[in-house]
């Protein structure tokens, strides 16, 4: 009889495949985590796909693939540009748990998502 392990590795999504995103996604893969990746230029995912990562067709697909979402991009504007492609209703379950490298912007984005505001839509923010 095969004994089933109750320990499974948490799925991770990595958005942004520059040097930091590549390194993080590779480390998660090396340690047995299911990894979904997304990048504005999909060609950067080749090595990670060969290692077992799944390439998401859209940022929304990547974000919904995992409860742990790593965003590895240059600056706040790049974070906003990426997150503006995700409907607030899709972002809201994750907004409070996004890695806190940029806590101020993530707090603001979480508050906007809770109010149903798209991160890129500034028209209805007081």
Q: Mean pLDDT check: name the lowest of 31-45, 58-72, 110-124.
A: 110-124
pLDDT for 5 beyond 70: no
62: closest CA among 96, 17, 103, 104? Answer: 17
Whether residue 56 has pLDDT greater than 70: yes
What is the distance, to the nearest Å, from the Cα of residue 56 to the centroid of all Cα atoms in its chain?
Answer: 11
The 10s digit of each residue's pLDDT in 6-52 is 558 899 999 999 999 999 999 999 999 999 999 988 789 999 999 99
What percentage of the chain has pLDDT greater than the value 70?
Answer: 67
Q: Which domains does the chain have, with CATH numbers?
A: 12-114 (3.40.50.720)
Which of the pair, 110 or 75, is modelled with greater confidence? 75
Residue 122 gets the label, from left (phi > 0), alpha (psi -120 to 50) or beta, of: alpha
Is the entire prediction scored with pTM above 0.75?
Answer: no
């Amino acid at each position: 009889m095969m004994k089933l392990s109750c320990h499974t590795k948490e799925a991770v999504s990595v958005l942004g495949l520059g040097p930091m995103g590549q390194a993080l996604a590779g480390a998660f893969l090396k340690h047995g985590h299911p990894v979904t990746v997304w990048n504005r230029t999909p060609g950067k995912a080749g090595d990670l796909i060969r290692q077992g990562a799944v390439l998401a067709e859209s940022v929304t697909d990547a974000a919904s693939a995992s409860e742990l979402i790593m965003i590895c991009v240059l600056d706040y504007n790049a974070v906003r540009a990426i997150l503006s492609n995700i409907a607030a209703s899709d972002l809201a379950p994750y907004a409070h748990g996004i890695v806190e490298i940029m806590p101020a912007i993530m707090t603001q984005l979480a508050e906007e998502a809770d109010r149903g505001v798209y991160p890129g839509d500034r028209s209805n923010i007081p």
